[in-house]
C-alpha cells in the first residue's frame, strides 16, 4: 500500500455480541495489542458493533483512553420522526462513531438497499462528520461472466458521481466479493489488487490524483491471519474489513500485528 495512506483493520461484528460481550472483547483486544506494543499511528484499528453495544464500547474506550476506533454497521437516511427501528447519523456521531458501513452486500440483499438509498446514506454519514465505508463487490454470477471489475467499479461510480471532490476524498471503499463473504473462499492477492487498482483508476478518472491517492481501499472476504500478509502487501490494498475473524480477539490481534509488521518493513 502507499505510504501516504494509513492502513485500516476494521472488524464487522454483524449481529454478534451483546453489550457485555462487546465490552469484554474490546478489553481483551486492547490488552493483546498493548502487550505487543502496537503502534496505532501506523495501523488504525476499528470495530463495528451492533447498535445495542455502541454505547458500552464508547464508555470503555473513553474511560480507558483506548486508541481503538469504532463505528456502526448501517444508518438511516432520515433525520428524525416516525421511522420505527431507524437510527440516524447524528445519533451515531453523538456516540463517538468514526465510521459507518454503507452498502454491505447483506444489507443490499436482505433489506434491500438500492443505489439511491446508498448515496443518501453516504451523504448522511459525511454530513454528520463521520466516514462511510462503502462496500462493493461482485457475486459469483458476475464473476462467471467475466465482468467482476466492471461491476465493482460501476457500484463505486454510481455513488461517487454525485459527490464533490472533498466528499469523495473522505470515502473508504471496501472491495468485498460476495462469493468470498463467510464462505472460506478468498480472492487471490492478485485478484484483490486488480479490483483495488481498477477502483482507484476510476477515482482518478473522475476526481484526479489527489482524491484517488487519498481514498483507502480495503479488502474483505474471509480474511484471516494466514492470508493477511499477502493481501496487505498489494500496492492498492490499504487494509481489511473483516467479518468472521473479527469475532476472535486473538485472531484479530494477530491480523493487526501482521499488518503492522508488513507495512513497517515495506517503508
- Active site positions, annotated: 104, 176
Phi-psi region of 17 (alpha: psi -120 to 50; beta: other; left: phi over 0): left
Cβ proximity of 255 and 245 under 8 Å: yes
The secondary element (H helix, E strand) that includes residue 219 is strand 216-219
Q: For residue 211, what are the contacts with CB-CB under 8 A and spacing of at least 6?
A: 165, 168, 169, 203, 204
Which of 210, 228, 221 is closest to 2 using CA atoms? 210
Q: How many CA atoms lie within 13 A of 73 on its CB side?
A: 20
CA distance 25 to 2: 31
Residue 170: all three cell numbers together: 473522505
Q: Which residue has the cell 496505532?
A: 40
CA distance 93 to 88: 9
Amino acid at each position: 500500500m502507499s505510504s501516504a495512506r494509513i492502513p485500516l483493520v476494521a472488524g464487522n461484528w454483524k449481529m454478534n455480541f451483546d453489550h457485555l460481550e462487546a465490552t469484554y472483547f474490546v478489553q481483551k483486544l486492547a490488552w493483546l495489542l498493548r502487550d505487543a506494543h502496537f503502534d496505532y499511528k501506523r495501523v488504525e484499528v476499528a470495530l463495528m458493533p451492533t447498535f445495542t453495544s455502541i454505547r458500552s464500547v464508547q464508555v470503555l474506550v473513553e474511560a480507558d483512553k483506548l486508541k481503538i476506533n469504532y463505528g456502526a454497521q448501517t444508518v438511516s437516511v432520515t433525520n428524525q420522526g416516525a421511522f420505527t427501528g431507524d437510527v440516524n447519523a447524528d445519533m451515531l456521531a453523538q456516540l463517538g462513531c468514526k465510521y459507518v458501513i454503507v452498502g454491505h452486500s447483506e444489507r443490499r440483499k436482505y433489506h434491500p438497499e438500492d443505489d439511491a438509498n446508498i448515496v443518501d446514506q453516504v451523504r448522511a454519514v459525511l454530513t454528520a462528520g463521520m466516514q462511510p465505508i462503502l462496500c462493493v463487490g461482485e457475486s459469483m454470477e458476475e464473476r462467471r461472466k467475466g465482468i467482476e471489475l466492471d461491476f465493482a467499479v460501476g457500484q463505486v461510480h454510481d455513488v461517487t458521481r454525485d459527490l464533490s471532490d472533498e466528499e469523495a476524498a473522505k470515502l473508504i471503499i471496501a472491495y468485498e466479493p460476495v462469493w468470498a463473504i463467510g464462505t472460506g473462499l478468498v480472492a487471490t492477492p492478485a485478484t484483490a489488487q486488480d479490483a483495488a487498482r481498477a477502483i482507484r483508476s476510476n477515482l482518478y478518472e473522475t476526481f484526479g490524483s489527489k482524491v484517488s491517492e487519498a481514498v483507502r481501499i480495503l479488502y474483505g472476504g474471509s480474511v484471516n491471519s494466514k492470508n493477511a500478509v499477502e493481501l496487505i502487501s498489494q500496492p492498492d490494498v490499504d487494509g481489511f474489513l473483516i467479518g468472521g475473524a473479527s469475532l476472535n480477539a486473538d485472531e484479530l490481534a494477530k491480523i493487526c500485528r501482521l499488518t503492522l509488521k508488513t507495512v513497517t518493513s515495506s517503508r
